[in-house]
Structure 1
Amino acid sequence: MPARLALVCVTLLTASQWTAPATAAETVVLTTTEWPPYSGATIAGQGAMSVILKEAFSRVGITLEVQVLPWRRAIEQARKGTDAIGYFPGYHCDHLPGFAASEPLGIGPLGFAENLENPITWSSVGELGEQGLRIGTVRGYANTEEFDQKVGQGWIRAVPAQTDTANLAALARGRVDAAVVDSRVLRYLLQTDPDLMPYRDTIRFDERPLDIKTLHACFLAGADGDATRRQLDAGLAEISADALLDDYLKAME
């Protein structure tokens, strides 16, 4: 972990304006997945979204425990409602029925990574299918409603991968023509993943985004989940999630 990033995260979590109450009234468990820089088991503060959530919950006297699991398992664990009461981060909370979204935790620019040796040109999602482009995706991840609908119809040739790293590696090796990815995830992986670092000068984020997504925590519907979601929203109203996200991302530079 870069020393500067570690220092910033420690500062964010320990400075007086960010300090949780000495004794929290309760502990909430949320699941997440490996999706750096937003979340992860070994990155500073368990990721930017974890830092934001922990700070927001601390403002209402709650301690957050984060469990990092494979994405589909993270959602399923939250659905059971036995250990965890929700999951994050989601562009929406419709991966499974029965969840409701918190107020936004930040934004995520979603678009295409492309290879500079073979860049893509498009002006509408439909053109991706018209050109017969092979588009890399990640299994279980939501993209945009239009894009996912056209994939489901077979109009867009989607090539699914298990992870963002595998998706980007397929792009680097010419197995797909573009790869759907969050721009911050792309930047992080090109800076830190040994398998992708050699492609830092050949892979870039296409200038036309698919969408600017808001990121949310997703809570299981019901008395406990609804109450906890309202508590989080109250905590989010007391902090600047955007400032925390910006500080975290700047520390990676």
Structure 2
Amino acid sequence: MVVKAAVEVMGHELNVELYPWQRSVMLAKTQPKYAGYFPEYYFESEDVIFSQSIGSGPLGFAEHTSTPITWSSLQDLKTVKLGVINGYVNTQKLDDMIANGDIEVEAVVRDSQNLHKLAKKRISLAVIDSNVFSYLLSTDSTLRQQKGRLQMNPKILADKQLFIAFLNDEEGKKWKKVVDEGLNKIDVDKIMSTYFSSIEQPK
């Protein structure tokens, strides 16, 4: 909603196509018809440039209601199996521990897959933005029946800013300028709050 508002206030039309995360990144980087991809967390890169923030999302863990997990540091999670998304940037510390093999993970291409696995207790925790969690449990017909089985762990990893990633070329710079100017003309926080408050929260 934020990106749509920012683009439209500048007199343009937004067309969005939904793909698994790694394919979205690949298409944006290789197909000229795509101006960028979102939502993305910031990371150091020479290949892409980032818009101004399009909002923020609390990154944390979904868990099964019958087996909640108490943890104070990521070291406490070495004995549990995490569900992650292929190609996602999480937090530096978590990604380093995953890369070093300190935490056992299973990777999938969609958040909904992790939530289904979590409902069946095939994993102990699933890394997910809490807004995405609420959205999926309210809008995905295959997940609605899992509402009583799944919840967000009360401790979050980070409240992360969200961005659009554009290819670092003239076309990407052009659309970054358009979006950034549009973002300056709208109330991002109000749009985010209105949108997510309209989504039924999982019970």
Cα distance in 1 for partners of 2:170, 2:109 equals 35
Cα distance in 1 for partners of 2:46, 2:144 equals 38
Partner of 2:67: 118
Deviation at 1:188, TM superposition (A): 1.9
Aligned-residue Cα RMSD (Å) equals: 1.7
Asked if 2 retains the 8 angstrom alpha-carbon contact of 1:111 and 1:182, the reply is yes
State the SS of the aligned residue for 2:196. helix
Cα distance in 2 for partners of 1:190, 1:60 equals 33
Partner of 2:30: 80
Deviation at 1:236, TM superposition (A): 0.4
Q: Relative to 1, partners in 2 of residues 1:224 and 1:189: Cα closer, same or farther, differing over 3 Å?
A: closer
Cα distance in 1 for partners of 2:27, 2:139 equals 29
Number of paired residues? 200
Deviations 1:12-70 (A, max 9, x none): xxxxxxxxxxxxxxxxxxxxxxxxxxxxxxxxxxxxxxx22122122223322223333
Cα distance in 1 for partners of 2:172, 2:139 equals 36
Larger Rg: 1
Asked if 1 retains the 8 angstrom alpha-carbon contact of 2:52 and 2:163, the reply is yes
Q: Relative to 1, partners in 2 of residues 1:222 and 1:133: Cα closer, same or farther, differing over 3 Å?
A: same
Deviations 1:102-161 (A, max 9, x none): 1111111110111121111111112211xx111111222221111111001000011112
User: 1:79 corresponds to which letter in structure 2?
Assistant: K
Match among 74, 86, 108 for residue 57 of structure 2? 108
User: 2:64 corresponds to which letter in structure 1?
Assistant: N
Asked if 2 retains the 8 angstrom alpha-carbon contact of 1:171 and 1:178, the reply is yes
Q: Relative to 1, partners in 2 of residues 1:97 and 1:72: Cα closer, same or farther, differing over 3 Å?
A: farther
State the SS of the aligned residue for 2:156. coil
Deviation at 1:172, TM superposition (A): 1.2
User: 2:159 corresponds to which letter in structure 1?
Assistant: I
Cα distance in 2 for partners of 1:163, 1:100 equals 24
Match among 19, 41, 44 for residue 91 of structure 1? 41
Deviation at 1:93, TM superposition (A): 5.3
State yes or no: 1:60 paired with 2:2: no
State the SS of the aligned residue for 1:219. strand
Cα distance in 2 for partners of 1:67, 1:190 equals 21
% identical aligned pairs: 34
Deviation at 1:202, TM superposition (A): 2.5
Partner of 1:158: 105
State yes or no: 1:200 paired with 2:150: no
State the SS of the aligned residue for 1:68. coil
Match among 176, 184, 190 for residue 237 of structure 1? 184
Unpaired runs of at least 5, structure 2: none
Detail structure 1 runs of 4+ shifted over 4 Å in the superposition: none
Report 1:1-253 matches (<5 A).
Answer: 51-92=1-42, 97-129=46-78, 132-253=79-200
Asked if 1 retains the 8 angstrom alpha-carbon contact of 2:21 and 2:109, the reply is no
Asked if 1 retains the 8 angstrom alpha-carbon contact of 2:83 and 2:106, the reply is yes
Asked if 2 retains the 8 angstrom alpha-carbon contact of 1:81 and 1:220, the reply is no
**TM, length-normalised to structure 2:** 0.90
Cα distance in 2 for partners of 1:88, 1:102 equals 10
Deviation at 1:81, TM superposition (A): 4.9
